Structure 1
Amino acid sequence: MAAHRKPRQRPLAGSAGRTAATLALAGAATVTAFDGPAHAEPRLTPAQVKAKVDGLYEQAEAATEQYNGAKEKADAAHASLAELRDEAARRTERLNTARDALGSIAAAQYRAGGLDPAVQLALSSKPEEYLEAAGFAEQAGARQASTIAGVRKGLAQIAELRTRADGRLVALKAHQAELARHKSTIRAKLDTAERLLDSLTAPQRTQYARQGQQGGGSAPGGAVGAPNSRAAAAVAFAYGAIGKPYVWGSTGPGSFDCSGLAQAAWRSAGVALPRTTYTQINAGRRVTRDQLAPGDLVFFFPGISHVGVYVGNGQMIHAPRPGSAVRMAPIDQMPFAGAARPA
């Protein structure tokens, strides 16, 4: 039976071939156009870039405050771990001294041969001296028992210290991992903001920077209306910080982030504030907006992610965002979230 074969098709030649090739390429281009994105991402207007960058900076600052909180916990865990290790080392040294004492007692007993007291008395050339030594030996036995008890207690204490140190080490590693996560988030937000700013023309970027630098101000002769000398000192410090750069995670003296500036200002007045905005708002007495006085801390955004030092007349001094410097600005510039007057 003859095999059935499909007739071989000869390739098109000449003008017919060229026409077919053209149609095939056109079809492929059409398919590609429908399969992939048809158009490039529309270019953002300067106003849209500003809105996106401002949002990214706000998110980066919120992450910065989380970073500050994690760093505070990591530093505390590290200090606690070092203290526990030092204490364990001191107790181990005392334990080794007690063990050495026990070793000396054991060696003396071994050299004495462990003879029966009656035999030792019989062999002694001076029974009176032996009886006196026996009394000392009995006392030494009591001291030995006390030393053994001390060694046992020391071993238990060192074991407990090492267990606590292991717990601090676990906590430290967890806080360090949290630090790394927040740091990565901050860097990603800032990098995205920088890429958006790079899309602006030079004049547009200059205008954006100028808008962000509105405010300014210089140190006054004194903090008029400050409720006390500590508040006046905090305000004076804030004025002295004007012009210093914003650096996230920094508490001065050469640079600050927002909560770092608030903490440093009040530290100069002898008042210790917590490190983060969301803990600083609870430091001292809460005040309403119409009760504000120079030195009060003013907070912004729903997440309490920004803080400034109020200086009066509706103005504050704050460290705004990366790429900027400490400056004066109206408190109406951002959504107000609350205020506190440190004690």
Structure 2
Amino acid sequence: MAAKKQTAQKQPGKHRKPRRLTARTARARTAARSAAGLTAAAAASVGVIADPGSADAAQNRPTTPSQARAEIDRLYQQSERETQDYDQATTRLRALQRRADEDRTRLARGQAALESTRTALGAVAAAQYRTGAFTESFRLAFSGSPDRFLAQAGALNQVTQAEKHVLDQYGRQVRALTADRAAAEAAVARASAEQQRLAQAKDRIRSDLAQAQHLLSSLTAADQVSLEKAGSTTPPASTAPAPDAVAAAVVAFAEAQLGKPYAWGAAGPDAYDCSGLTEKAYAAAGISLPRTTYQQVDVGRRIPVSQLAPGDLVFYYSGRSHVGIYVGGGKIIHAPHPGAPVRYAPLDSMPISAATRPA
């Protein structure tokens, strides 16, 4: 008996009764198993998504200098398109902000006029109160509910002609104020949405330019020089004379900007993007151009490349996302891309999509 007791003491818990599984414990275990399952599934799904993406990125990465140059050109062209989209959105945002300011001003004027009319109504109402003839029309006007007043004022006819004039004026002002408030709120909402689009455009441009810069830094110094050989700030050996005073002013302005840096979204005086340069060059000649290449290409008349004269605009790529100023001698002046200043370039250094003579 003692031996059995000793054995039992040496092996405590061997025959311990299992703990009762309460409802709370069961729910906790089930939740833990579910969480573990979801975590595993999420990890597996990330693996499925991430691995092919990484493989594609590695597979598409340029492996030769010529491939790197081609990819850099593609990224610069893409960022140029996005820059024009950004410039266009900036123009829209300014217009929307002006509209919002105008709506706010009109709203403030309407509010002031309404208060003036309410003061006049107050004087009439006070007179009615003193004579004991305070009408329902005035009760509605001072009820604090313009909507209720507008809904019921048309059915009220126990007013004098003078009272009716004041009440009608009040009704018109309430309607105008309501419309102005709605317009102001809509303008602010549109401006806010445009600001969000601008932020997204900035992110895309920065991403493309960062990739281009990374690829550029991976090239040898000789390859980097080769990539930039299509441009120079040195005047060409021969140029054609400008056909008129406007063209001469445009070319003179462009030449004065040579060497200034490119900056996306910039329109001088210290830096430019491509359409910012052309806009300001024509402004110097007294001619207003829209902000973006998409709009500038529709100003003036189209001309064949064979008839280009100094001062004409040359648009590049199928999307017309880049523009330069023809200066004669088979050369243009343009703001190329980040890292490259305003400079001369061969007319055919990029695929031409259109040529125009704005004036």
Per the alignment, residue 243 of structure 2 pairs with 227
- Deviations 1:258-284 (Å, cap 9, x if unpaired)? 001011111111111111112111111
Partner of residue 329 from structure 1, selected from 345, 354, 357: 345
Q: Find out whether 1:236 has 2:252 as its counterpart.
A: yes
CA distance in 2, matches of 1:93, 1:208: 67
Please, what is the CA RMSD of the aligned residues? 2.6
- Of 260, 274, 279 in structure 2, the residue corresponding to residue 263 of structure 1 is 279
Give the CA deviation at 1:77.
1.1
Contact 1:237 1:265 in 2 (8 A): yes
Quick one: percent identity of the two aligned structures? 42
Structure 1 partner of 2:174: 155
Distance 1:148 1:224, change over 3 A: farther
With structure 1 as the length reference, what TM-score do the two structures score? 0.75
Tell me the amino acid that sits aligned with residue 234 of structure 2: G
Give the C-alpha shift of residue 305 in structure 1: 0.9
1:74 CA drift (Å)? 1.5
Is residue 195 of structure 1 aligned with residue 214 of structure 2?
yes
What SS is found at the alignment partner of 1:332?
A: coil
- For residues 8-60 of structure 1, the C-alpha deviation after alignment (integer angstroms, 9 at most, x for no partner) is xxxxxxxxxxxxxxxxxxxxxxxxxxxx98xx878723222222111111111
Give a deviation string over 1:235-273, Cα, whole Å, max 9, x none: 111111111110000111111000010111111111111
1:211 matches 2:211: no
Correspondence for 1:279: 295
TM-score when normalising by structure 2: 0.72
SS in 1 for 2:229: helix
Establish whether residue 169 from structure 1 lines up as the match of residue 203 from structure 2.
no
Q: Name the aligned partner's letter for residue 271 of structure 1.
A: I
SS of the aligned residue for 2:311 comes to coil
Where does residue 181 of structure 1 map in the other structure?
200
Structure 2 counterpart of 1:275, one-letter code? R
**In structure 2, C-alpha distance between the alignment counterparts of 1:336 and 1:297, rounded to whole Å:** 11
- Residue identity opposite 1:60 in structure 2: S
- 2: CA distance, partners of 1:232 / 1:99: 63
Report if the CA contact (8 A) 1:263-1:273 is conserved.
Answer: yes
Partner of 2:97: 78
1:149-184 Cα deviation digits (max 9, x unpaired)? 111111111111222223323322332222122211
> Gapped runs of 5+ residues in structure 1?
1-35, 116-139
**In structure 2, C-alpha distance between the alignment counterparts of 1:305 and 1:319, rounded to whole Å:** 12
Residue in 1 aligned with 2:355?
A: 339
**Higher alpha-carbon Rg:** 1
- Cα distance in 2 for partners of 1:194, 1:153 equals 61
Could you tell me which of 29, 52, 59 is aligned with 2:71? Answer: 52
Counterpart position of 1:98: 117
The runs of 4+ residues in structure 1 deviating greater than 4 Å are: 40-43
Q: Tell me, what secondary structure is at the counterpart of 1:311?
A: strand
